Structure 1
Amino acid sequence: MRIDRHRPRRRAISMTPLIDVVFLLLLFFMLASTFARFGAVDVSLAHEGSGPAATGERRNVLLSVAEDAGYAIDGIAVEKDRLAEALKAGREDGSWRIVVRASPRAVAQDVVEAIDEARRAAIGPVVLVP
């Protein structure tokens, strides 16, 4: 006697849960990407030929950035909050060039903030030197 077992038929895989998950991931990444605001800081690097003859009669102001978020203008320590005011003090607009020099262990965020404050002072172009 022959007994045939009834084999259960395979059900087709439902794509609905997969589509829901993909849609939710897409929605999450679309919403999360709008929260990130990327800013750019225009930086010009000093190079050969950028000496006094190339810049006209500009005088330099040295803005140093130390590794412990310390700032100094021409060797005089300045707090970050007063950086733009200290750069403007006693200098005419447009006749100065701000040279930003970072120590090898300075944090990149501190250097960017120094460049931003130097641009806010608006006394002349800002140059980053290694």
Structure 2
Amino acid sequence: MKFRRKPRENVEINLASLLDVVFILLLFFVVSTTFNREAQLKIELPEAESAEVQEAPPRQLEITIAADGSYALNGQGLVKSDMATLSSALQKESEGDSSLPLVISADARTPHQAVITAMDAAGKLGFTHLRISTVDAEPAKP
């Protein structure tokens, strides 16, 4: 007795709809992902409690910011207190060498915007070694 076999049906998985779902998920993740940007300036804040005195390198730049927000670069006052003037003075004083260390010394009553403007000008010129100088904290009186 000879049995006749049923012809086998070819089983196929339709991948078109699966690919559509994968691409939509990929698009969703790309759009909803937040990208972090690395900080452009490396800031080394000295400890205010220990007030360790560091020896100054042979050549460095120092931006001094007064309480009213006026700038001085290496002891020379700037005519205007804006980013363009500060950037051009930094460029001229550093002679294009952005590897020089830069110290920002600001009065305690200096507006925060003046310090941010100085840091922004330094960052746009490519300075990466930035220090903010502080003084030793006074112990609390009982």
TM-score (norm 1): 0.55
- Tell me the residue number matched to 2:101: 97
- Tell me the residue number matched to 1:64: 64
1:117 has 2:121 as partner: yes
Q: Distance in 2 between matches of 1:126 and 1:69?
A: 19
Percent sequence identity is 25
1:64-88 superposed Cα distances (whole Å, 9 cap, x missing partner): 1112120110111122221111111
Q: Is the 8 A contact 1:64 1:73 kept in 2?
A: yes
RMSD value, Cα: 2.6
- Tell me the residue number matched to 2:89: 86
Larger RCO: Structure 1 or Structure 2 (Cα < 8 Å, ≥ 6 residues apart)? 2
1:87-111 superposed Cα distances (whole Å, 9 cap, x missing partner): 1114242441110000121011211
Letter paired with 2:120: D
Q: Is the 8 A contact 1:119 1:126 kept in 2?
A: no
- How many pairs does the alignment contain? 87
CA spacing shift, 1:109–1:58, aligned 2, 3 Å:
same
Q: Distance in 1 between matches of 2:111 and 2:40?
A: 16
Choose between structure 1 and 2: higher strand proportion.
Answer: 1
Alignment of 1:2-13 (within 5 A): none
1:129 has 2:117 as partner: no
Q: Distance in 1 between matches of 2:58 and 2:124?
A: 18
TM-score (norm 2): 0.51
